[in-house]
Amino acid sequence: MEKPHVLLIDGMALLFRSFFATSAVNQYFRTTEGLATNGVQGFTRHVLAAKTMMKPTHMAVCWDMGSKTFRTDLFDGYKANRPAPPEDMVHQFDWAQEVSKQLGWKNYGEVGIEADDFIGSFTKQWQDQVDFTIITGDKDMLQLLSPSVKIAFMKKGFHVYDVYTESRFIEEYGIQPSQFADVKAFMGDPSDGYPGVKGIGPKTALQLIQAYGSTDGVLDAIDKLKPAQKKKIEEHKDMLLLSKKLAVIKCDIQLDVSLEELIVPTYTSDHIQLCRDQQLSLLAKQLEKNVELTNDPWA
The closest of 172, 233, 242 to 204, measured between CA atoms, is 233
What are the structural domains, with CATH classification, of the chain? 5-172+250-291 (3.40.50.1010), 175-247 (1.10.150.20)
Query: Considering the entire predicted model, what is its pTM?
Result: 0.94
The closest of 105, 84, 91 to 31, measured between CA atoms, is 91
Question: With a cut of 50, which residues of the chain have pLDDT below it?
Answer: 296-299
- Per-residue pLDDT tens for 88-121? 999 999 999 999 999 999 999 999 999 999 999 9
Q: Which strands, in side-by-side order, build the sheet including 106-108? A: 106-108, 58-62, 5-10, 131-136, 149-154, 161-164
Q: In the prediction, which pLDDT does 292 show?
A: 58
Cα dihedral value 4, 107, 125, 7, nearest 10:
30
Q: In the prediction, which pLDDT does 294 show?
A: 54
Q: In the prediction, which pLDDT does 66 show?
A: 87
Sort residue 174 into left (φ over 0), alpha (ψ -120 to 50) or beta. left
Q: In the prediction, which pLDDT does 298 show?
A: 33
**In 10 A of CB 209, how many CB atoms?**
26
Range list of H helices, 59-201:
70-74, 87-102, 115-125, 166-173, 180-187
